[in-house]
Amino acid sequence: MPLSVVILAAGQGRRMNSDLPKVLQRLAGKPLLQHVVDTARELGPDALYVVYGHGGAQVQSALAHERLDWVLQADQLGTGHAVMQALPLIPDAHTVLVLYGDVPLVGPACLRELVHQADAGALALLTVKLPDPSGYGRIVRDANGQVTGIVEHKDASPDELAIREANSGLMAAPAARLREWLPGIGSNNSQLEFYLTDVAAVAVRSKNPVVAITVTHPVDVLGVNDRVQLAEVEAAFRAARAAELMLAGATLADPLRIDIRGEVTVERDVFIDVNAVLIGKVHLGARVSVGPGCLIRDSHIGADTEIKANSVIENAAIGEHARIGPFARIRPGTQLGPEAHIGNFVEVKNSFIGAGSKVNHLSYIGDATVGAGVNIGAGTITCNYDGVNKWRTSIDDGAFIGSGSMLVAPLTIGAGATIGAGSTITAPAAAGKLTLARARQTTSETWTRPVTLDDAEKLTEADKLSPVGSKEP
**CA dist 167 → 8, 87, 126, 380 (Å):** 16, 22, 7, 64
Q: What is the DSSP letter of 429?
A: B
217 catalytically annotated? no
Q: 174 CB contacts (<8 Å, ≥6 apart)? A: 1, 92, 94, 95, 96, 118, 119, 121
Q: Is 151 left (phi over 0), alpha (psi -120 to 50) or beta?
A: beta
* 62-70: long-range contacts, CB 8 A cutoff, minimum separation 24: 62/24, 62/31, 62/33, 62/34, 63/31, 63/33, 63/34, 63/37, 66/34, 66/37, 68/37
Please tell me the distance from the alpha carbon of residue 266 to that of residue 168, in angstroms, as a whole number: 34
Burial of 232 by CB count in 10 Å (0-12 exposed, 13-18 middle, 19+ buried)?
middle
Q: Is the dihedral of CA 163, 151, 149, 11 positive or negative?
A: negative
Q: 361 CB contacts (<8 Å, ≥6 apart)? A: 343, 344, 345, 346, 377, 378, 379
Full DSSP string of 100-150: ETT-----HHHHHHHHHHHHTT-EEEEEEE-S--TTSPEEEE-TTS-EEEE
- Find the catalytic residue in 54, 283, 300, 361: 361
Cis amide linkage into residue 2, ω under 30° from 0: no
Please tell me the distance from the alpha carbon of residue 346 to that of residue 246, in angstroms, as a whole number: 31
Nearest to 180 by CA among 85, 87, 99, 117: 87
Asked whether the beta carbons of 403 and 379 are under 8 A apart, the reply is yes
Q: Are strands 335-336 and 317-318 parallel, antiparallel or unpaired?
A: parallel
Cis amide linkage into residue 108, ω under 30° from 0: no
Question: Which residues are catalytically annotated?
Answer: 361
